[in-house]
Amino acid sequence: MRGHRLLPALTAAAAALATLLSAPARAAEVPSSGVFYVQSAVTGLNAADSGGAVLQRNPKGNEDRQQWTLRSTGSTYVLESTDTAGSCLGRSGAQARTVACSGADAAWEITPAGTDRYRLKVPGADQYLTLGAKPSGATYPAQLAVGAAGDPAAWYLTPVTSPTSPMPSADRRTLDQVTFLTSHNAYANGVDGGFAPPFVNLVPNQSRGIEQQLADGVRGFMLDVHQTPDGAILCHNSCTLVSRPVALNVDLRRMVDFLRRNPGDIVTVFLEDYVDPGVLRAELARVEGLSDVLYRPDQAGVRTNGWPRVADLIAADDRLLIFSDHSRSADESAGLTRDSFGVMYQREWTVENYWSMGSGVGGSDWSCYSRWYDANTNVPLTAAAPPFRPLFVMNHFRDAAITSTAGTDNTKLTDRARRFCQPAARKKPNFLAVDHYDLGNPAAAVATLNTYTY
């Protein structure tokens, strides 16, 4: 199951993130009015009213009192809670508080601070809405503060209703404008072979094999790969006591063969990766033709030019992307990095929301926040350095893949993507990852998202 470990911060990933967060870009005009989320440019979390205190909370759509109506009041602005008329995002001393909209402490001067970013300044003072001081070895505190300018005082005013444009024609759309159906734990299907010890093996995440998944339109595959004496093997948590497990090279060969038969398609693989880099390199070398279709964004100028057009990838036969969640720093210590043989470090090229919506039954948590936000790692869903924008992997599944629950959840995928996760990331999901992709018609959600761009 994805998410059972969060790796230490990576040196190179941290440097890449610093570039994303500090890259100079055009300033944005201040919106004149509208309903917005006040979203930290550092953490990606939203300002929320909590009994008068203003805290940063996980983005949660129209729940949790996170929406604010922006109004101009001459040379200043107020942000009124959509939940409580007359109550505005303001301040009391050094803390952010909700206050009466008619009071002086509700007024802010709003000035541009980079691409779509703003600072909320106290009129007549060099003080700004900001994050609280981050203790060593901890995340930023929930309570928002009033303090000095700087990166923690940069905010997005993210529209509650996402601004969209029609999808460009097939020959013009870029990779980051497209959404792909993605199967979570694609190998755990009970068809191609065993994937877990007894009892766990009774609850597969998918019910169709990899070849059928490809035939059904799945184009993203999440695979857990473990190291055994036999090489890189696909198993859930551990390969101990797993009957008839499948090797990684077997499923990759299926995908490469599919790409040969279907020259207009692109496939992406996400590895929850527990193997040494040398073992992974040897496993990929066993797949004939893999290097012919492997796409290397690190060698293609994506960071400086943005993602290429899908049509150009197809014309160049660059149609297979492989990402790993492994630690770059650990690989550097081992003397062999995965990107040296074409496997990209996921945190350098993608953003991803937290992997679970809750247990396999009962209510679900639709909040959408970064999987990589903790005391050691901070890759917000909003990370970007235009023209480069990380691809957005949207997880939409639970702790356990109960068939009936997954079917119901999948019918709600479009709604969660558009109202919750899309504003949280300030970008459209590129990969919709689900359990039991054949239930609840998540392909319809993919089709809907592929009619527009953010």
**Of 142, 159, 176, at which residue does a domain stop?**
159
Q: Shortest CA distance to 414 belongs to which of 445, 377, 454?
A: 445
CA torsion sign, 393 to 394 to 395 to 397? negative
Same domain, 449 and 337: yes
Residue 89 lies in a domain: yes
Same domain, 84 and 222: no
Same domain, 172 and 301: yes
pTM for the model stands at 0.93
Residue 21 lies in a domain: no
pLDDT confidence of residue 11:
41
Q: Please, are residues 71 and 54 in contact by the beta-carbon 8 Å criterion?
A: no
Structural domains of the chain, count: 2
Residue 11 lies in a domain: no
Same domain, 402 and 430: yes
pLDDT confidence of residue 198:
87
pLDDT confidence of residue 204:
97
Same domain, 357 and 448: yes
Same domain, 191 and 329: yes
> Which domain CATH number covers 434?
3.20.20.190
Strand ranges (DSSP E) for 267-410? 267-274, 320-324, 344-345, 350-352, 391-396
What H or E segment, with its residue span, contains residue 409? helix 403-411
Half-sphere exposure of 110 toward its Cβ, with a 13 Å CA cutoff? Answer: 25
Same domain, 215 and 112: no
Same domain, 182 and 47: no
Residue 19 lies in a domain: no
**Of 107, 136, 159, at which residue does a domain stop?**
159
pLDDT confidence of residue 7:
39
Residue 153 lies in a domain: yes
pLDDT confidence of residue 176:
98
Residue 24 lies in a domain: no
Same domain, 280 and 415: yes
**Of 133, 159, 185, at which residue does a domain stop?**
159
pLDDT confidence of residue 26:
40
DSSP secondary structure string, 345-385? EHHHHEEEB-S--SSSSS-------BTTBSSS-B--TT--B
Same domain, 68 and 216: no
Same domain, 43 and 58: yes
Phi, psi of 450 (to 5 degrees): -85, 10
| Domain housing 143 | 34-159
Residue 12 lies in a domain: no
Residue-by-residue pLDDT tens, the chain, 454 positions: 554 443 333 344 444 444 444 443 444 588 878 999 999 999 999 999 999 999 999 999 989 999 999 999 999 999 999 999 999 999 999 999 999 999 999 999 999 998 899 999 999 999 999 999 999 999 999 999 999 999 999 999 999 999 999 999 999 999 999 999 999 999 999 999 999 988 888 899 999 999 999 999 999 999 999 999 999 999 999 999 999 999 999 999 999 999 999 999 999 999 999 999 999 999 999 999 999 999 999 999 999 999 999 999 999 999 999 999 999 999 999 999 999 999 999 999 999 999 999 999 999 999 999 999 999 899 999 999 999 999 999 999 999 999 999 999 999 999 999 999 999 999 999 999 999 999 999 999 999 999 999 9
> Which domain CATH number covers 132?
2.80.10.50
Rounded-to-integer distance, Cα 157 and Cα 144, Å:
16
Q: Please, are residues 365 and 358 in contact by the beta-carbon 8 Å criterion?
A: yes
Residue 372 lies in a domain: yes
Other beta carbons within 10 Å of 295:
23
Q: Please confirm whether the linkage preceding 31 is cis (ω < 30° from 0).
A: no
Same domain, 140 and 242: no
